[in-house]
Structure formats: C-alpha cells, structure tokens
Amino acid sequence: MSKITAAITAVGGYVPENKLTNFDLEKMVDTNDEWIRTRTGISERRILNEPGKATSDLGAAAVQNLLDKKGLDPKEIDCIICATVTPDMFFPATGNLIAHKIGATNAFSFDLAAACSGFLFALTTGATYIESGRYKKVIVVGADKMSAIVDYTDRNNCILFGDGGGAVLLEPSTDDCGIKDSLLKSDGTGKDFLYMKGGGSLNPASVETVLAKQHFIHQEGQSVFKFAVKGMADVSAELMERNGLTGEDIAWLTPHQANLRIIDATANRMGISKDKVMININRYGNTTAATIPLCLNDWESKLNKGDNIILAAFGGGFTWGATWVKWAY
C-alpha cells in the first residue's frame, strides 16, 4: 500500500477592508513612508476595526472563503487547528469559535501558539493526523488580530503589524503530493527579545500592568532580525539538503512576511531567484500566523500540481521552521 501524505487541497484567505498606510502612520508617530518601505518592505496593512470583531472573525472568514471555493460542507470537517497569539479570549479556544461560526459541528478544534511560526507548527501537526489515517479533512488556520496588541504610540512596532487570516484544507493523498517534510525548532531563550509581558499567569492583568504597557508587543528588533536571518535560512537550507533539493528544484519559496530584508537573505542562501518568492508584505505587513496561508491564497492561481514549495518562518519563542510541500492541484 502506498504511503498516505497530507495534501493541501484548498486554500482560503481574508483581510479586513480597512487600510492603515505608511502615510497614516506618519500622522500618528515620528516615522516616514521612506524609512518604513526601505527597512521593512511594508507600504500598508489591514486593520480589523469593527467593534465586536476579533481573531475568530478573521479565521472564520478565511475558512468560509476556502469552503466556498472548494464547495465543501463544513459538517465534513474532522478537525480545525488554529494558530494564533491573539486569541479572542484565553478560553474557549479561538478554534472552537471558528468551528462554531462556520458550522463545523462534527469537528474537534483547538489553538496552537507558536507566534509567527504558528502556521507551520499547526500544519505539521495537522499533517500527522492525516498521515495516521484516522482523519480525512483537517483545516489549519493561521489568524491574528495584531492590532489588538500593538501600541500605536510605539514607532518601533506599530509600523510592522497587520490583521488577517488564512486557511488550508489537508486531505489524504497517495500520489506523492502533499507535506513531504518539516523541520521545526524552538528556543525559549528568545523570551527576552520578543514578548507580551502582561495578561498571563506571570503578570495577571492589573492597573499596574496596563499602566506599564505590558499588554502590548515588545520586540528588540535588531536582535530578532539577526536570529531571524540566520534561523530561517539555516533551517530552509538544512531541509533542502536532507531531501536532496537545490534552488533549481524549487518552484516557490513562501516565507513568513516579517521583513523584506529577512526574506531576501533567506532566498539568497537557498539559491532561489526573487521571481520565485511569494511576497505580499507590502500590502499586509506582518500578520503573524496568517502570513504563509495568505501568500498561498494570493498565489493559488499560479501554482501547479507537483510544484515544490518551501514554506519558512521565524518568530517569537523563538520558534522557527521550514516545510517542503509538493502542491497537489
């Protein structure tokens, strides 16, 4: 019997309509369009500013987009894994809320937190469910409402992030397409460089934590940059090497969209030319767990069955990783 692989058989994405441009930010903090574009590659990002809307709405809209395109009944879904660091609430899980919103009444669902690498960690987890033979339809969602934890008086961070959601459907395949290999890493020493201090069990929410701005992202940008450039390139190169792949074998690189300079460095190290790199950071900024599925959704019409795609990410934790996907449709 041929081995079961987990194939991506549909994708979906959603970003809110409301745009926050570099020129808008110029009016909010001491920054300018030229600095943001040359240092990060970002021109605008989308912000979910409707009252009462949260990460589950971004995730549910992305999954609904996938279901509509695929013509899939939500009752057929076995499992939904939601990667996020901005859950609607600590509990219930945002995955539970997404399942409820889209009518996936037969699915079990849960959240997975691995910051900007969350989608890759969730994808690898979902793939093993499929490979086990026990589940037939697993949805992996990456969704983050980053604007909920961004301090819009902090010019170091507020220019970077946006809101969005993306989703893929995993199904069993025996024709050699699907998630071929994954290399995932984490290192808790990264806790000193990228974190949100308040609101958890270490520093529960209080007047003091609010006044000390502990409910916002804190990032030592330069340090994270150095780790990210090395981590994302190293892990992608190792994944390719252990599978005997060279840059020429790769149809597309789908990198996490944190900084265009990190993306360029990773592509160079892998020997992949710029025209094969998915880049939408200019339009969406860093949407954390959503960047990779949003790229797959934006590039869906250009992908062909059998294309070798490397997904690569680096983020808080630190967490990082790369996944080799053979496109299935």
Q: Which residues form the interface with ligand UT7 (CB under 6 A)?
A: 31, 35, 39-40, 116, 155-156, 159, 221-222, 224-225, 228, 258-259, 262, 286, 314-315
**What CA–CA distance (Å, rounded) separates 180 from 324?**
5
Least distance (Å) from ligand UT7 to the CB of residue 185?
Answer: 14
Least distance (Å) from ligand UT7 to the CB of residue 98?
Answer: 22
C-beta atoms surrounding 256 within 10 Å = 31
C-beta atoms surrounding 153 within 10 Å = 11
Tokens 């209080």, located at residue: 206
140 and 122 Cβ atoms separated by less than 8 Å: yes
Q: Which of 139, 157, 165 is nearest to 289 (CA)?
A: 165
Least distance (Å) from ligand UT7 to the CB of residue 193?
Answer: 9
Is the Cβ of residue 178 or residue 255 nearer to ligand UT7 in the bound state?
255
Is the Cβ of residue 129 or residue 225 nearer to ligand UT7 in the bound state?
225
Is the Cβ of residue 103 or residue 221 nearer to ligand UT7 in the bound state?
221
Q: At 34, is the secondary structure helix, strand, or coil?
A: helix
**What CA–CA distance (Å, rounded) separates 114 from 91?**
17
**What CA–CA distance (Å, rounded) separates 262 from 317?**
18
Least distance (Å) from ligand UT7 to the CB of residue 256?
Answer: 6
Residue nearest to ligand UT7 (CB): 221
Is the Cβ of residue 97 or residue 116 nearer to ligand UT7 in the bound state?
116
8 and 325 Cβ atoms separated by less than 8 Å: yes
**What CA–CA distance (Å, rounded) separates 63 from 5?**
22
Q: How many residues does the chain have?
A: 329
State the catalytic residues. Answer: 116, 256, 286
Least distance (Å) from ligand UT7 to the CB of residue 117?
Answer: 9
Is the Cβ of residue 123 or residue 228 nearer to ligand UT7 in the bound state?
228
